[in-house]
Amino acid sequence: MAATLPPPRLLPSGDSAITVEFSRSIDDAANRRVLALDRAMAAEPVTGVTETVPTYRSLLVHYDPEQVDFDKLGAQILALAQRPVPATTRTRRWRIPVVYGGEHGIDLEDVAKTLNTTPDEIVARHVAGDYRVAMIGFTPGWSYLSGLEKSLHMPRRQNPRLLTPAGTVSIGGVQTGVQCLAGPSGWHLLGQTAVRTYQLHRDPIFLLEPGDNVTFVSVDAKTFAEQDRAAEAGEFIAEQIAS
């Protein structure tokens, strides 16, 4: 018998969405419960629910208030959230090639200095990690990964950059991430991948799913350039490997 799980908090996000909060902090167990609830709601659609959005610590449930109200939907969500979290879920594992440092990862040297080690050692620690897509958010395909080794935890930049390159692989706080589109970021840029987590006119348009496992492999700049051309033509580049 599983012990009773603490119920999530049901927080109103306006009249058409509920934030189902499992934790206030980044917490692996909470993220697993978020993803489990997300799967449960996909498997057994609840009347009125239009879309679910998993994040680190909460599931945002969009719904149509013409079909179901806050109290009724909230009760159904609480019941679903009481289900035990599956110990193992079938997940996919991706290997993502990254060219580290230089123009592709302009913060690698500084990160090494700050952490009193060498760039090679930072890369070695980053590729040794076993990560999970905790959430995808902010802009299309921006994948937030949990599982960053403690020695790589560091505060975000004081001044976020207004523009960082497409495909940037970076670290910030206790997280690492892969962004697809060029855009603002306050994280430390370690490298760049040719993998497009979002690409129109490719099937699938979105490569990664919340809950997928990810590892990185270091490649040189020449390989990156070749992969980038292939990715532009629609290839995944990311390799799906046995879990």
Contacts 24+ apart (CB under 8 A), 154-158: 154/111, 154/114, 154/115, 154/188, 156/186, 156/187, 156/188, 157/186, 157/187, 157/188
Do the bridges between strand 213-218 and strand 93-100 make them parallel or antiparallel, or are there none, so unpaired? Answer: parallel
Stretch that binds other proteins, among 12-20, 78-86, 99-107, 116-124 (CB under 8 A): 12-20
Q: Is 62 in the site for other proteins (CB under 8 A)?
A: yes
Q: Is 160 in the site for other proteins (CB under 8 A)?
A: yes
Minimum CB separation from other proteins for residue 52, in Å?
7
Place of tokens 């935890």: 153
When binding is defined by CB under 8 A, the residue of 94, 100, 131, 187 that contacts other proteins is: 187
Contact in structure between 90 and 84 (CB atoms under 8 Å) = no
Number of residues that bind other proteins (CB under 8 A): 58
* Six token digits for residue 169: 């692989």
Three-class SS of residue 213?
strand
Residues 166-185 that bind other proteins (CB under 8 A): 172-173, 177, 179, 181, 183-185
Stretch that binds other proteins, among 86-94, 137-145, 216-224, 228-236 (CB under 8 A): 137-145
Q: Is 5 in the site for other proteins (CB under 8 A)?
A: no
Amino acid at 9: R
Minimum CB separation from other proteins for residue 151, in Å?
21
| DSSP state, residue 40 | H
Minimum CB separation from other proteins for residue 159, in Å?
9
Phi, psi angle pair for 75, to nearest 5°: -65, -40
Question: How far, in Å, CA of 219 to CA of 187, rounded?
Answer: 21
Minimum CB separation from other proteins for residue 203, in Å?
13
Bridge partners, 98 (sequence order): 218
| DSSP state, residue 15 | T
Minimum CB separation from other proteins for residue 243, in Å?
21
Minimum CB separation from other proteins for residue 1, in Å?
31
When binding is defined by CB under 8 A, the residue of 6, 7, 12, 86 that contacts other proteins is: 12
List for the chain the helix, strand, coil content (%; round to 5).
25, 30, 45
Stretch that binds other proteins, among 75-83, 86-94, 140-148, 212-220 (CB under 8 A): 140-148
Q: Is 76 in the site for other proteins (CB under 8 A)?
A: no
Three-class SS of residue 118?
coil
Contact in structure between 204 and 221 (CB atoms under 8 Å) = no
Question: How far, in Å, CA of 46 to CA of 3, rounded?
Answer: 25
Q: Is 206 in the site for other proteins (CB under 8 A)?
A: yes
Chain positions contacting other proteins, by CB under 8 A: 11-17, 19, 21, 23-26, 38, 50-60, 62, 65-66, 69-70, 135-142, 144, 156, 160, 162-163, 172-173, 177, 179, 181, 183-187, 198, 200, 205-206, 210
